[in-house]
């Protein structure tokens, strides 16, 4: 089975390499020549643990091109993993997926035999079996269901752990246009994840709803723990860690992601939670739990600014340790560390920041008013208050000495 992967970004490049590592002949396609050149030079186009090792070890099965016809022609399955940015209303936009579908569809006009198209990008419920299927049929001149299959197969990975997440997921989610399409995708997925990982098969709209439900349920747990934290801030003798640790022992609840701390950030949690609320509105209902989850999350930075204010006055220096949205990545999208640093500067504090990986990305966002340091010692030597925002292993080691 030969596979084309459209979009060689933070998820697409690791997916390409993982598929090659499982014996598939793969061809990457991207509109960005630099990503294609990087793959052909066997150089990771994005920073992700194990990606470079896989590209090097399985190079004989990997190629990339900007030529859609050449890229699609020799393959049986095309995986689409291009951006679906959130629009002003919070819904994911399909524009890049539809652009890719147009190219795939016209390439399929001159290809014979069965072809499966798999959408891995996160889409709003109703997209895959709606505008995406319609565009694919119009551009390819084929009907989905006969010699053309269409599936939705979103990824539940976290940046910094993408390769591991692709190889060892908790479960595989497949939304299938028909049984044959699902069977072909199951064969592909089984070669990647092995025989014991559960695979949930359903129609595309259920799979689209499942994808955003998973993240929204997790963010709900995070906001629940932070809500407990807010109560404990003002309840003498109360400690959110003690309460959440006890609650987590109930097997109906579980302790994962149930710990008071900072709000959640990153490229998926915030926008999937908002998109869930939008999906509910579109279904003429009100997802109050998703909306409340988002509201609680938004006030966590103010809560921290208030806490800092109990220990230092504006004009004093505060160290913000950790600017990426989680350990192991340089991505700062919706990062709580960045939001806190900006809020503290706005409140009149001097802010010194440190991060083992995300300083360059943070510099572009925080601007010249923040002081950037290369070593944790430099930050804490000049700060009245130190706020550790990201549990980088480096910090655990460093601060355990204090
Ligand atoms: N990053 C995450 O943590 C994460 C997690 C789960 C799901 N997702 C979803 O995966 C999808 C991709 O995310 P990402 O983080 O890999 O994006 P990314 O921005 O890192 O990479 C996208 C790639 O697609 C390419 N591209 C854009 N338009 C194209 C087109 N028309 N044809 C071919 N290539 C095109 C870009 O050049 C880029 O290389 C999104 O829908 C996102 O929501 C992301």
User: Measured from the CB, is residue 12 less than 6 Å from ligand 1?
Assistant: yes
Query: How far is 396 from 114, CA to CA, in rounded Å?
Result: 53
Query: How far is 263 from 241, CA to CA, in rounded Å?
Result: 15
Query: Which residues have a Cβ under 8 Å from the Cβ of 235 and sit 6 or more positions away?
Result: none
User: Measured from the CB, is residue 156 less than 6 Å from ligand 1?
Assistant: no
The H-assigned helical ranges of 168-203 are: 179-193
Query: How far is 156 from 363, CA to CA, in rounded Å?
Result: 29
Quick one: tokens of 295? Answer: 């509201």
The whole-number pLDDT of residue 399 equals: 85
User: Measured from the CB, is residue 319 less than 6 Å from ligand 1?
Assistant: no
Q: What is the pLDDT of residues 62-74, one digit of tens each?
A: 999 999 999 999 9
Quick one: tokens of 355? Answer: 């991060």
The whole-number pLDDT of residue 146 equals: 86
Query: How far is 136 from 152, CA to CA, in rounded Å?
Result: 14
Instruction: Check: CB of residue 297 under 8 Å from CB of residue 222.
Output: yes
Residue 314 is given by DSSP the state B
The whole-number pLDDT of residue 398 equals: 86
The tokens 């003798």 sit on which residue? 237
Prediction pTM value: 0.94
Instruction: Check: CB of residue 63 under 8 Å from CB of residue 28.
Output: yes
The whole-number pLDDT of residue 400 equals: 82
Side by side, the strands of the sheet bearing 115-119 are 62-65, 25-29, 2-6, 77-80, 115-119, 148-152, 172-176, 199-202
**In the chain, what is the straight-line distance between the N-terminal and C-terminal CA atoms, in Å?**
55
How far, in Å, is the centroid of ligand 1 from the Cα of 7? 6
Question: CA-based Rg of the chain, rounded to a whole angstrom?
Answer: 23
* Chain centroid offset of residue 114 CA: 31
The tokens 């944790």 sit on which residue? 376
How far, in Å, is the centroid of ligand 1 from the Cα of 83? 4
User: Measured from the CB, is residue 128 less than 6 Å from ligand 1?
Assistant: no
Residue 132 is given by DSSP the state I
Residues of the chain with pLDDT under 70: none
The whole-number pLDDT of residue 328 equals: 87
Query: How far is 12 from 81, CA to CA, in rounded Å?
Result: 6
Nearest residue by C-alpha to atom 10 in ligand 1: 121
The whole-number pLDDT of residue 363 equals: 95
């Amino acid at each position: 089975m030969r596979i084309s992967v459209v979009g060689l970004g933070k998820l697409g490049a690791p997916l390409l390499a993982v598929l090659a590592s499982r014996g598939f002949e793969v061809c990457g396609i991207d509109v960005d020549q630099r990503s294609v050149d990087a793959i052909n030079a066997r150089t990771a186009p994005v920073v992700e643990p194990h990606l470079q090792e896989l590209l090097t070890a399985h190079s004989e099965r990997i190629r990339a091109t900007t030529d859609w016809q050449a890229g699609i022609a020799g393959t049986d399955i095309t995986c689409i993993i291009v951006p679906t940015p959130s629009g002003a209303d919070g819904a994911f936009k399909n524009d890049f997926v539809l652009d890719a579908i147009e190219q795939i569809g016209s390439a399929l006009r001159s290809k014979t035999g069965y072809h499966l198209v798999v959408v891995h990008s996160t889409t709003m419920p109703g997209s895959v079996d709606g505008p995406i299927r319609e565009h694919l049929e119009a551009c390819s001149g084929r009907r989905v269901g006969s010699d053309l299959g269409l599936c939705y197969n979103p990824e539940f990975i976290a940046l910094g752990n993408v390769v591991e997440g692709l190889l060892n997921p908790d479960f595989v989610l497949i939304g299938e246009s028909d049984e044959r399409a699902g069977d072909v995708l199951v064969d592909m997925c089984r070669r990647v994840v092995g025989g014991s990982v559960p695979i949930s098969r359903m129609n595309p709209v259920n799979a689209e709803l499942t994808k955003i439900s998973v993240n929204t349920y997790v963010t709900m747990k995070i906001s629940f723990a932070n809500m407990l934290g807010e109560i404990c801030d003002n309840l003498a003798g109360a400690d959110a860690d003690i309460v959440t640790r006890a609650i987590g022992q109930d097997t109906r609840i579980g302790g994962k992601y149930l710990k008071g701390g900072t709000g959640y950030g990153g490229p998926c949690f915030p926008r999937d939670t908002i998109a869930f609320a939008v999906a509910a509105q579109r279904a003429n209902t009100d997802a109050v739990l998703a909306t409340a989850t988002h509201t609680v999350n938004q006030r966590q930075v103010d809560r921290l600014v208030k806490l800092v204010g109990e220990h230092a006055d504006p004009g004093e220096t505060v160290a913000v340790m950790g600017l990426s949205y989680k350990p192991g990545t340089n991505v700062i999208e919706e990062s709580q560390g960045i939001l806190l640093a900006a809020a503290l500067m706005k409140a009149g504090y001097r802010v010194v920041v440190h991060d083992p990986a995300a300083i360059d990305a943070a510099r572009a966002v925080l601007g010249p008013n923040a002081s950037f340091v290369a070593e944790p010692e430099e930050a804490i030597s000049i700060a009245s208050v130190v706020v550790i925002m990201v549990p980088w292993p480096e910090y655990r080691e460093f601060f355990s000495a204090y």
